[in-house]
Chains A and B, each alone.
Chain A
Amino acid sequence: GAGVSQSPSNKVTEKGKDVELRCDPISGHTALYWYRQSLGQGLEFLIYFQGNSAPDKSGLPSDRFSAERTGGSVSTLTIQRTQQEDSAVYLCASSFRSYNSPLHFGNGTRLTVT
């Protein structure tokens, strides 16, 4: 079946512009995560959504970052007033349930801020 889909795959933007990154999780998966991966680094947790519960936003690095998940499916990560340090690969993952359930990752959006 279809996996997690992210768009765009690449995004180049100028410093100070806003960007929106989209994630389409696997159908039926209730949990959705956003992670950030800087060049050659590990996975940095950003935000977690589960059904209609309040999201865990504890990993968002600043108030320039926000995310929403509409209808329990598609999610959008928005970065306002982008900075060069925001350059990274943004990965979305979904899982069938919220505990002890494998994460299924998309291929990410590579964001470059010039």
Chain B
Amino acid sequence: GENVEQHPSTLSVQEGDSAVIKCTYSDSASNYFPWYKQELGKGPQLIIDIRSNVGEKKDQRIAVTLNKTAKHFSLHITETQPEDSAVYFCAASRGTYKYIFGTGTRLKVLA
């Protein structure tokens, strides 16, 4: 069946450095790719999303890139801050209600 692989599972960076999380999807019909941030004790919150007709999207310190040929998409966080520490999930959807989630990346930003 369809799946989404997410790497790395844990990531530690120094404050101010950049962090990159990568996801690879198997369903070539996927056309919507959201990213969620989950802080301790809370539900996941959407931070950015991208659709298949766009190669890159930015929102302040956060950006997502999509490579449809290679079937992967990545989250880039620049100038990381301690409050960026959380678990990040990627997901893929082929335009239906079904989302396939990655297994999550625990990001630690070291002060």
Residues of A within 8 A of B (CB): 4, 31, 33, 41-43, 45, 48, 50, 56, 91, 93, 95, 98-100, 102-108
Contacts and interface: CB of A to CB of B under 8 A. Distances in A.
Contacts of A42: 89, 101-104
Which applies to chain B's interface (DSSP): helix, strand, loop or mixed?
loop
B51 interface: yes
Contact of B99 (A91, A103, A104, A106): A103
Contact of A99 (B45, B89, B96): B96
Interface of B: 31-32, 34, 36, 41-46, 49, 51, 89, 93, 95-99, 101-104
B96 A98 contact: yes
A41 B44 CA distance: 13
Nearest to A48: B97
B25 to A, nearest CB: 14
A43 B44 contact: yes
